Structure 1
Amino acid sequence: MKTNNMILDVNERPQLLKWITLSLQHLFAMFGATVLVPIITGLSPAVALVSSGLGTLAYLLITRGKIPAYLGSSFAFIPPILVAQGMGGPEGAMVGSFLAGVVYGMIALLISKFGTKWLMNILPPVVVGPVIIVIGLGLASVAINMAMYENPGEQTGYSFTLITVALVTLAVTIIGSIFFKGFFGIIPILIGVVTGYLFAYTQGLVDFTAVKEASWIAMPDFIVPFVTYTPEFSWAIAGIMVPVAIVTIAEHIGDQMVLSKIAGRNFLKTPGLHRSILGDGVATMIASVLGGPPNTTYGENIGVVAITRVFSTFVIAGAAVFAVAFGFIGKVSALISTIPTAVMGGISILLFGIIASSGLRMLIDNKVDLGKKRNLIISSVILVIGVGGAFIKLGDNFQMAGMALAAIIGVVLNLVLPGKDEQKELSFEEEIESKKNSAA
């Protein structure tokens, strides 16, 4: 039965032309952010598209086609991927991503056995909020360097033209976010990238040589274990990558709750949070064995669902198939590679700031009282350790740095410090039922 003024229910399949149109809409919604992650981390955008599509299809299969969610590249993993690449190259980062996916599977198994209350106890807002802030602030220098320098990694080659391109891109994205309505209000990132790209072209920053030389059909630059490299386990990389799963799992739960409220159904109960987390983990493992960034549920696509009221998982699956197809179109991959870093820097200034602000919003929405010493101590320690870049190194085989260390210390402080607030039981079923009644 349809609820909340649904145009298409979860299990309904639209007619072919409408199906294609709606699926392409989801593809465009996730496109800008999904290709931004590999560009920043030096991975292949084409592989990211393929792994995003395959990961989404796996997610739909594991959740029995009952949750209309698209999975794209995760921003939370950008800092650890950059660090891991410096230690073990892209191959080392892929091993770390795979291990993070395994953690998802372990958490899913524990949820299926013991429920969710234990997880909420470990990851309350006072821990997750500051860690999310650390993710955004930790990436701030990356965005600014991309916007200002010809060689962002070395911080050399300052250019007024580059910063101008970045600011124009940023301005258009902000205008789109505030003033555009309907579907265009969901894709301000893509609109900002396209506008910034066109402006960069007028400044002589775009070279189409690679596009002209590229073939229409091309194999993406996959990084496959035991084919292109022999994977090696590293405690140091594991210590950097795996703890990030703590943050992304918390974000995943939030996305599922939002989607449940929009649909008027409790997806945490049916098909179950354990299935959705497992699907997220499997998608991340698929990405890691192909050479793409870890995947996560995408807020952009949840926004599309909210506006269109189209909840069909057939539409989501169609978008996933299109993403895989785009990954094998050489001209598209070459065109993405011509986007100047200044354009992506301009976009990143807003996106990374939004990540940090989202952590602050989590604290506010959950009414975390920073007037209480306990909460103030936990959030303060997480912020300084995470943003300050503290790390623990034991010999040459183990290192835990930055955000990962901040997350672990935050969890420990929350568990051991006295005066923990009694968490009020959230009756999610009652909230969903209320949404159904108000919609009726």
Structure 2
Amino acid sequence: MENNVKLRVDEVPKWNQWLILSLQHLFAMFGATILVPVLTGLSPAIALISSGLGTLAYLIITKGQIPAYLGSSFAFIMPVIAAMSIGGPEGVMIGSFTAGVIYGITALLIKWTGVQWLMNLLPPIVVGPVIMVIGLGLASTAIEMAMNFDEESGTYVQPMLHFSVALVTLAITIVASIFFKGFFNLIPILFGITGGYTMAAFMGLVNFTEIAAAPWLRVPDFVTPFATFTPQWSWSIVAIMAPIAIVTLAEHIGDQMVLSKVAGKNFVKKPGLHRSILGDGVATIIASFVGGPPNTTYGENIGVLAITRVFSVFVIGGAAVLAILFGFVGKVEALITSIPGAVMGGISILLFGIIASSGMRMLIDNQIDFGIKRNLIIASVILVTGIGGAFIQISDNLEIAGMALATIIGILLNAILPGKKYGQGNGAMFASLEEQLKEEENNNAA
């Protein structure tokens, strides 16, 4: 399974290759990682730094055995926006910390009791629709950015001018995604942002003043508990962000299985699913201590591994170090900040749609039968509750709303309604995970 491997997981690259290979990974994750903080109002520079720090922590926790890069999580975009409106960046850090702790607790439970309970708690019939809610719930945000909605006046300002930029950005991203080959096929977001930014500049929508004034080296404005702010616990923010950590655990399992297949190694078995989940959690906790968004493993970087056949964790570590260094370059942050909303809106139209489609794909891949009423009911309630913006006001300081409420209701419905086996479907995702875990148990028994 390890045919054509150019660099093994534990192999140190030659010095003249190391920088180029690490830069390649950095560019693969760059567009997506900066997109999340730009959309949510967090600092792109700090997102890069927390991404690099989180990746290094992940590599240490997984004993340098899993070549995975961690970047900003798309699943938390809507919760972070909601948390920002309640408690600002400081509130987001409370929520991120809680999400990281949930990852840690889950890792310990998997270590002690196995993973079957998690599979029963989060079957595809629950996870798929929740992922669809994540994408579709952000649809209006994408359009408002693309058409330049002004919140103060409540109207669109020069909507056709901005929408034309968004459409060009979208078109470039689609062309890059469909027609570009090799490594270039992995960075369509970067191509889209670059092309849209260029068009926006020609139309006078870009202000270069701040870029010119920005210093080359600059320490970002970190959001650090007990240093820059005094943490104040908010159950409403925890209720918004914590349930999403439960959902992204299913995505994490899927990423580990894909990565195992690409690398020809069973990472679920060694170093173990509990270590990779713990690494994800620690990375998110680190982000919460510096002011970055929650982190997760990146599909773009798995794609780089598949194409290059370079699995060295030293290359991944090099990309993490470069991301940290980029975070301290003032002109990079100023350049990112100057990207017009129309450009990000064009990217978001595709990106948010892909997130929603990924939820649909999970249902299809696992062959969920919607001829069975329980499956139809669970999916329907999750979608309408999550997208419709339902909420439960428990107290003045605690509100469970939207996606978080939809996730909890989905889990409860799956637990209460008869016929749980139908929620798992007949697909390969969880079946293949069960096979790997059984293999591990047999090996341990032998």
| Shorter-chain TM band | over 0.9
Match of 1:144 in 2: 143
- Secondary structure of the 1:39 match is helix
Q: Is the 2:268–2:436 contact (alpha carbons within 8 Å) kept by the matching residues of 1?
A: no
- My pick for the range that moved more, 149-158 or 349-358, is 149-158
Match of 2:443 in 1: none
Match of 1:40 in 2: 39
Match of 2:85 in 1: 86
Match of 1:3 in 2: 2
Report the aligned-residue RMSD: 1.7
Unpaired stretches in structure 2, ≥5 consecutive residues: 438-446
Match of 1:103 in 2: 102
C-alpha distance in 2, partners of 1:313/1:224? 29
Deviations 1:152-208 (A, max 9, x none): 685542421100000000000000100000000000110110011111111011111
C-alpha distance in 2, partners of 1:382/1:151? 31
CA distance 1:110–1:211, shift in 2 (3 Å)? same
CA distance 1:393–1:4, shift in 2 (3 Å)? farther
Give aligned pairs, total: 433
Asked whether 1:321 is paired with 2:321, we answer yes
C-alpha distance in 2, partners of 1:77/1:429? 28
Unpaired stretches in structure 1, ≥5 consecutive residues: 433-440
Match of 2:49 in 1: 50
Deviation at 1:151, TM superposition (A): 2.7
CA distance 1:116–1:27, shift in 2 (3 Å)? same
Deviation at 1:387, TM superposition (A): 0.5
C-alpha distance in 2, partners of 1:250/1:155? 39
- Secondary structure of the 1:242 match is helix
The amino acid across from 2:67 in the alignment is P
Deviations 1:124-147 (A, max 9, x none): 100000000000000111111000
Match of 2:366 in 1: 366
Deviation at 1:430, TM superposition (A): 6.1
- Secondary structure of the 2:400 match is strand
Match of 1:255 in 2: 255
Asked whether 1:64 is paired with 2:63, we answer yes
Deviation at 1:342, TM superposition (A): 0.5
Deviation at 1:428, TM superposition (A): 4.4
C-alpha distance in 2, partners of 1:428/1:371? 26
Deviations 1:11-51 (A, max 9, x none): 01111121110100000000011001001111100000000
Deviation at 1:89, TM superposition (A): 1.4
C-alpha distance in 2, partners of 1:428/1:404? 26
- With structure 1 as the length reference, what TM-score do the two structures score? 0.96
Deviations 1:68-115 (A, max 9, x none): 110000111111111111111111111011011000000000000001
C-alpha distance in 1, partners of 2:7/2:87? 46
Q: Is the 1:4–1:262 contact (alpha carbons within 8 Å) kept by the matching residues of 2?
A: no
Match of 2:131 in 1: 132
Q: Is the 1:131–1:359 contact (alpha carbons within 8 Å) kept by the matching residues of 2?
A: yes
- With structure 2 as the length reference, what TM-score do the two structures score? 0.94
C-alpha distance in 2, partners of 1:205/1:4? 50
**Identity score, percent:** 68
Q: Is the 1:55–1:295 contact (alpha carbons within 8 Å) kept by the matching residues of 2?
A: yes
Deviation at 1:429, TM superposition (A): 8.4
C-alpha distance in 1, partners of 2:36/2:53? 17
Q: Is the 1:266–1:428 contact (alpha carbons within 8 Å) kept by the matching residues of 2?
A: no
Q: Is the 1:150–1:158 contact (alpha carbons within 8 Å) kept by the matching residues of 2?
A: no
Match of 2:17 in 1: 18
Match of 1:436 in 2: none
- Secondary structure of the 1:67 match is coil
Deviation at 1:426, TM superposition (A): 2.6
- Secondary structure of the 2:157 match is strand
Asked whether 1:426 is paired with 2:425, we answer no
Q: Is the 2:48–2:326 contact (alpha carbons within 8 Å) kept by the matching residues of 1?
A: yes
Deviation at 1:10, TM superposition (A): 0.5
Match of 2:281 in 1: 281
The amino acid across from 1:243 in the alignment is P
Q: Is the 2:147–2:159 contact (alpha carbons within 8 Å) kept by the matching residues of 1?
A: yes
- Secondary structure of the 1:243 match is helix
1:20-419 counterparts in 2 under 5 A? 20-149=19-148, 151=150, 154-419=154-419
CA distance 1:179–1:411, shift in 2 (3 Å)? same
Deviation at 1:227, TM superposition (A): 1.0
- Secondary structure of the 2:410 match is helix
